[in-house]
Structure 1
Amino acid sequence: MGDIFQREVKDHWYVKYEEASFPFIQKGWVLPVDRWRDFDPFILMAEDWFKRGAFSDHPHRGIQTITYVIDGRLEHIDNGGGRDILQPGDVQYMNAGWAARHAEEGVDDDIAHTLQLWLNLPKSKRKTETSYQNIYAEDAPVLSVEGGSVKVFSGKFGDVKGPLQSVVPITLAEVNLEKGASYTHVLPENHNAFLYVLSGELELGTSETVHLAKHGVATLTYQEDGNPENSSEFTITSASRRAKLLIYSGAPIKEEIVPYGPFVMNTMEEIKQAYRDYHAGKFGPPAI
């Protein structure tokens, strides 16, 4: 084996927010959808503040979603009989597959504050069965590191494996660091990866460090044709009293897609068919 690939920051930016009309409060694009080719297998990530009624019953097809609750309470309702309340630090995974119909609501008078990531499905898996999985903060195992901790939602870090079972394997970790603490995050070298800073300030990378604070996003270099069995390393150092970030990674799918409304398919004709199927009742009853 050769040297382990050292990742650096490929690109970085800060999220811009816009106020929205009630029951929406505010929205920002962490990953803007028009750059999905850069983010493959990820399509978009939205940061939303909203109250009850913003995301009532609606359909999805052709994607997976990963929702991280930052603040407030989020009620999940699906038309398969699922209903649960997620709290800060909890994550919900959904495989929309062929036909999901669900609602995501603020609870009572809460303002729900969430990050929702859309994860692509390969063409061969777009017709998979719809499923949901809730990962509560206390059920995600924690890896202790010097000066901090890593909560593992998906993937394996050291001997710690996350409970999230994605149709397309990904990693998701929440990293918490004290001031001055350095942590080296290990990922498969062929995974496209990005991070989002939830709080504090960080120095990222090794050869040319990038300073990033709250609301900052960074994509990382990777070996596009690398071996999934080979590891890569990325160094993170906290530059504030406490810092928290989320790191996501996944192997690119390398297929053309058409994101349109709540659906993601490979062609516009497949999008039109999804709308026809929805209006014909093939997605089942409303999620109420």
Structure 2
Amino acid sequence: MTDPGVVPGGRVRHGTGVTSTRAFPTEAYPHNLDPFVLFERFYIDPEDGFPMHPHKGFEIVSYMLDGGMEHEDSLGVTHTAREGDVMRITTGSGIRHSEFPADGDACNGLQLWVNLSRAQKDVEADYEDADASDLPTADRRGATVTTVVGEGSPIDLHTPMEYLDARVTGAWTWEVPDDWVGFVFGVDGDGSVDGDDFGVGDVRPVTDARAVDLAAGDDKVFRVACVAGRPHGEPIRQRGPYVL
């Protein structure tokens, strides 16, 4: 696959009127990034949301940026995630869940779908969450980084991966591990990725292990999600809410 450079996110509308900025797959980048099925930033108005619906064959990581989101599922779990909180759902052999904004207010966050390998498609459905205070945050040279998934985080997936929420204030380098695939997504502010201008909703696929150079722009705080994982080396077959 050729290097696409910086790609703008695409607008998606689903649920009962939920709008999202999707990183991939989109018309501009019509690919999955094995092991990742899709990634998007969702915006849910108070009267909208996702009524109870089914999923199977993958894992979901929802990370809240603003407001609260109420989760309910067929395992009997009910939980409200708020700013900085994270929820992980292993859909496995099948689960049903709903997502609605809490407290009559709008909310927005990031949602990632991670494929399960062929051998794990039928694992038992499971759920896990963590508060913002449970996620490790460290000052690194040029950035303050919260680990949503990865070393030190209580959130664990079947696929080895790293999910970082980075607030870049100067110049910072993200190292993608050997044999992993990943991407950078613009959350807030502007800056550059590998020398290219980069803003809110932009995505930079990284399909080879290497160092990715990021730098803050005029807004001084350049917030990005940096996600990478070990590919399964298997086709990703998404059929609506299912990944076969």
**2:4 paired with 1:26:** no
State the shift of 1:147 in Å: 3.9
State the shift of 1:68 in Å: 1.6
State the shift of 1:162 in Å: 2.2
Alpha carbons of 1:38 and 1:104: their partners in 2 closer, same or farther (altered >3 Å)? closer
The residue type paired with residue 200 of structure 1 is G
Question: What is the root-mean-square deviation of aligned Cα atoms in Å?
Answer: 2.2
State the shift of 1:41 in Å: 0.7
Alpha carbons of 1:171 and 1:164: their partners in 2 closer, same or farther (altered >3 Å)? same
Alpha carbons of 1:36 and 1:263: their partners in 2 closer, same or farther (altered >3 Å)? farther
State the shift of 1:80 in Å: 1.5
Alpha carbons of 1:99 and 1:25: their partners in 2 closer, same or farther (altered >3 Å)? closer
State the shift of 1:187 in Å: 2.7
Q: Deviations over 1:228-261 (max 9, x none)?
A: xxxx422211113211111010111121232112
Equivalent residue for 2:206, pick from 217, 220, 239: 220
Q: Which residue of 1 is the match for residue 239 of structure 2? A: 260
In structure 2, distance between residues paired with 1:171 and 1:16:
24
Structure 1 residues 218-257: aligned runs within 5 Å:
218-223=204-209, 232-240=210-218, 241-257=220-236
Structure 1 residues 171-250: aligned runs within 5 Å:
171-178=162-169, 181-205=170-194, 209-223=195-209, 232-240=210-218, 241-250=220-229
SS in 1 for 2:6: strand
State the shift of 1:10 in Å: 4.8
In structure 1, distance between residues paired with 2:235 and 2:80:
35
In structure 2, distance between residues paired with 1:168 and 1:198:
24
Q: Deviations over 1:15-41 (max 9, x none)?
A: 2336x5894242332212686755111
State the shift of 1:52 in Å: 5.0
SS in 1 for 2:110: strand
Normalising by structure 1, what TM-score?
0.76
In structure 1, distance between residues paired with 2:69 and 2:49:
11
Alpha carbons of 1:36 and 1:117: their partners in 2 closer, same or farther (altered >3 Å)? farther
In structure 2, distance between residues paired with 1:131 and 1:170:
18
Which consecutive residues of structure 2, in runs of 5 or more, have no partner in the other structure? none
Percent identity between the two aligned chains: 23
Q: Deviations over 1:71-124 (max 9, x none)?
A: 221011112121111112222111101111111111132122122211111110
The residue type paired with residue 222 of structure 1 is D
Give the length in aligned residue pairs. 239
Q: Which residue of 2 is the match for residue 270 of structure 1? A: none
**2:54 paired with 1:59:** yes
Moved more, 35-44 or 74-83: 35-44
By percentage of residues, which structure has more helix? 1
Alpha carbons of 1:33 and 1:64: their partners in 2 closer, same or farther (altered >3 Å)? farther
Normalising by structure 2, what TM-score?
0.89
In structure 1, distance between residues paired with 2:17 and 2:54:
19
- Contact kept in structure 1, 2:37 and 2:114, CA below 8 Å: yes
State the shift of 1:199 in Å: 0.8
In structure 1, distance between residues paired with 2:143 and 2:41:
25
Equivalent residue for 1:164, pick from 155, 160, 163: 155
Moved more, 49-58 or 118-127: 49-58
The residue type paired with residue 41 of structure 1 is P
Q: Which residue of 2 is the match for residue 154 of structure 1? A: 149
